[in-house]
Structure 1
């Protein structure tokens, strides 16, 4: 057994053990921490499989943003799971066993692990993506070329889904409150922020890390054509910086930097930028999302410019949606 296979098997075994531990826990805060560990293990597996773009997203979302949102949601509900009736446990176990058996049966058609003659290695489309894309698109990062150029329509659809979630979640969490309730929530928020900010290590570390997080987000965005990264990853990392600052200094401090009206304006901005670029391509005589029309004499430069523009749009919407969701949870105050 090679070292790579041994590492993959070990990571997968730890992931399975973590999943089993999560199902056995009734303390929801501990289960949330183990869920974050599962996200970190998944990211490590993606790294070992050379899926670095997915690994960055999983580390930022599965381990970072999702954990924070779970903790904020638990602050609004309760810290322990309610007792489930036995009849529901049996029905849930039956569904889980049936689904697991179906997946195991379907996995019998998968090729052996690490075989060189798998369809993903021998299919003609592989050569198109890995080799022809360098001539058609001219982007060193094949993942960026596929997502932003070959399947630009699908990526636009995914961005619309993210935008829809960013609009729906705040609407679901919105409620009518009296002025006194809002004032009381602000007092409680400031009290929680003061408790967190009293820890000098947290206060100093967050202020030091904040600019580096934002700079790294811009690096991931603008370097996505050449290495792992892009708009999705950059947007998540950018939002993580604001979430970290809000956890330590309170939601009001973050809203002074990025108020709600500005957040609402940023939600559709990325989608409009993405779709607007396609309309510009059509106005210049090309097809929708045909970036080569941006620089007719040098189509590859046009591809590079177009991909950079839409990746920026993706990053804006992803960051705005995640920060808006965090705002929506944090502004509700603690309710037990």
Structure 2
């Protein structure tokens, strides 16, 4: 039965991909990408990867969809028709696929118990993780302790990508459209907007959001500090926390949100999370230990590991949440400045 579910989900994924490739309506493509994220989250759930599933649900279905829709307001709905060279594209895909398949021929079968990773590394994690780190959840101990250096690299990638997006958003303008708006204002013409009324005018949305926001924030804290015992951690908690702020921006507007937290503070927090993570590693070096070796935090090695994982996970959550919120608020502010929102 489980294999049948896998096959059905994979078939839906392929159909969604083909539909995305064939369409030229960018709005429909964004909606299909949201459906693709939902199918991926369902697939992860079937494979018992719960933490990855609700991260995909928050990012792939929620935040990514909002960012893409925001981008559409700055571009246009329909793709410009261009002449493509399908034979060259098919040839490139075929060559790439052939190389990938050739590279996997020497690999052990998928899920094989005799794979090299399962003979030493995985066995050590399963049997020794709790005794060495005091963390019940093996995934958390691997990501934040055994593979902490790699996780720091992932966090730096997120921070760098976020800063790159901000540079692009703040460094590009639309002179033609801005000039048209200014000319209309000079001539005394009223610039009208086809955007719907702000959602804060709807009492039901305001009341329901005020009821949901505290609960979602509480769940984000639960995910952040419950990673020792179940699916969760800084990446998942940061995404959930960011979704709360994005919901607040959508309902109450950007100006109301900036009264609580400004873009400058978000930039500071995005860098602070990386600094917290990296500082733990530098502190290890100062005490003569290996980079990101938490033993210097306490005389008890298990307690030291537990405390180190706790601190670095907080850094991850801060950077992830701040980066996502910063990107969305920059998108929203850009549209507001051009008279397309609020």
Q: TM-score, normalised by structure 2?
A: 0.86
Q: CA 1:47 to 1:101, structure 2 compared with 1: closer, same or farther past 3 Å?
A: same
Match status 1:126 vs 2:129: no
Q: 1:237 aligns with which of 236, 240, 246?
A: 240
Superposed CA deviations along residues 181-217 of structure 1, whole A, max 9, x for unmatched, are 7xx99xx9x9958432334443333222211221111
Q: 1:268 aligns with which of 252, 267, 271?
A: 271
Give the match for residue 142 of structure 1.
138
Q: 2:201 aligns with which of 184, 198, 202?
A: 198
Q: 1:22 aligns with which of 17, 20, 27?
A: 20
CA contact (8 A) 1:194 1:249 kept: no
Q: CA 1:93 to 1:332, structure 2 compared with 1: closer, same or farther past 3 Å?
A: farther
Superposed CA deviations along residues 159-195 of structure 1, whole A, max 9, x for unmatched, are 1121112222212211498xxx7xx99xx9x995843
Superposed CA deviations along residues 112-167 of structure 1, whole A, max 9, x for unmatched, are 5655x351774211111111112211211111111111111111111112111222
Q: 2:230 aligns with which of 227, 232, 252?
A: 227
Give the match for residue 173 of structure 1.
169
**RMSD, matched Cα:** 2.6
CA contact (8 A) 1:217 1:235 kept: yes
Unaligned stretches of 5+ in structure 1? none
Q: TM-score, normalised by structure 1?
A: 0.87
Match status 1:292 vs 2:295: yes
Residues in 2 aligned to 1:195 and 1:278: alpha-carbon distance in whole angstroms:
46
Q: CA 1:65 to 1:118, structure 2 compared with 1: closer, same or farther past 3 Å?
A: farther
The farther-off stretch of 9-18 and 195-204 is 195-204
Q: CA 1:95 to 1:304, structure 2 compared with 1: closer, same or farther past 3 Å?
A: same
Match status 1:303 vs 2:305: yes
Q: CA 1:263 to 1:42, structure 2 compared with 1: closer, same or farther past 3 Å?
A: same
CA shift, 1:17, in A, is 1.1
